Amino acid sequence: MTIEEHYNAIAPKLTNWLVATGSSHQEACDLVQETFLRLWRMRDDLSDDPSAVSGLAFTTARNLRKNLWRDNARLTFVDEIRDGDGGASAPPDELPSEAEERRAELRRQLSSAFAKLPPTLREAYTLFQVAGMSVRDIAAQTGATENLVKVRIFRAKNKLREILSEMGVTLS
C-alpha cells in the first residue's frame, strides 16, 4: 500500500481516537499530520502489513501527543477563554437548534464519562470502538495479552454504562 492509501484508511480512526482520549479536534488533526509526515519519511522501510503500519501510526501519534503535552505543561492558563470575535454571542438566527444542543450535551457527558475511566480501560476501549483496531492489534500495541485487552474492553463498557447512568443518561 502507498502512504496515501494508509492515510485514507488510518487517519479518520486515528483522529477519532485522539479526540476520544483527550485531544482537541485541531490538536488531533495536527498530530495525525505530523504522524503521517514521519511515516512518509520512513516509507521505504515500512512493512506491507497494514496492521503493522496502523500500530506504528497509533504509537507515533501517542508519543507525539505525550511530547506535546509535556512541553506545554509549563504554559500559564488564563481564567477566561474568549472566542476569536472577542466573546460576543452569536446572533439569534445562528443559535443552535434543540437537537444540536442535545447532541452537544451528550458529547460533553460522554467526554466526562471517558475522562473518569482508568487510562488502561480508556485506551483499550477507544482503540477497539473508536479506532476499530482488533484485539490482537491492541494487544501488540499496548504490550498486554489478548485476554487482558478483552477484559479491559468489557470493564470499560460496563464502567461507562455505570457512569452515564449516574449522570442520568439513558442508554437504549
CA–centroid distance for 37 within its chain: 19
- 93 in a structural domain: no
Nearest-5° Cα angle at 63, 113 to 158? 25
- 131 in a structural domain: yes
The pLDDT assigned to 91 comes to: 47
Report the number of distinct structural domains present in the chain.
Answer: 2
- 115 in a structural domain: yes
Residue 79 pLDDT level (bands cut at 50, 70, 90): very low
What 3-state class would DSSP assign to 163? Answer: helix
Residue 75 pLDDT exceeds 70: no
- 54 in a structural domain: yes
CA-closest candidate to residue 36, choices 15, 17, 67, 21: 15
Residue 121's alpha-carbon distances to 41, 46, 125, 154, 160, in angstroms, are 33, 30, 6, 9, 10
Q: Domain residues for 47?
A: 3-72
- 87 in a structural domain: no
- Distance separating alpha carbons of residues 126 and 110, to the nearest angstrom: 12
CA–centroid distance for 10 within its chain: 13
- 22 in a structural domain: yes
Residues 22 and 68 in one domain: yes
CA-closest candidate to residue 124, choices 108, 111, 112, 136: 136
**What is the rounded average pLDDT of the residues 109-116?**
84
What 3-state class would DSSP assign to 112? Answer: helix
Residue 90 pLDDT level (bands cut at 50, 70, 90): very low
Tens digits of residue pLDDT in 50-59? 778 888 888 8
CA-closest candidate to residue 133, choices 144, 172, 158: 144
- 84 in a structural domain: no
Residues 117 and 155 in one domain: yes
Looking at per-residue pLDDT, the higher value among 161 and 91 belongs to 161
Q: What is the CATH number of the domain that holds 148?
A: 1.10.10.10
pLDDT exceeding 70 applies to what percent of the chain? Answer: 83
- 25 in a structural domain: yes
Tens digits of residue pLDDT in 2-21? 778 888 888 888 888 888 87
Residues 60 and 103 in one domain: no
Tens digits of residue pLDDT in 24-52? 888 888 999 999 888 888 888 777 777 78
Residue 172 pLDDT exceeds 80: no
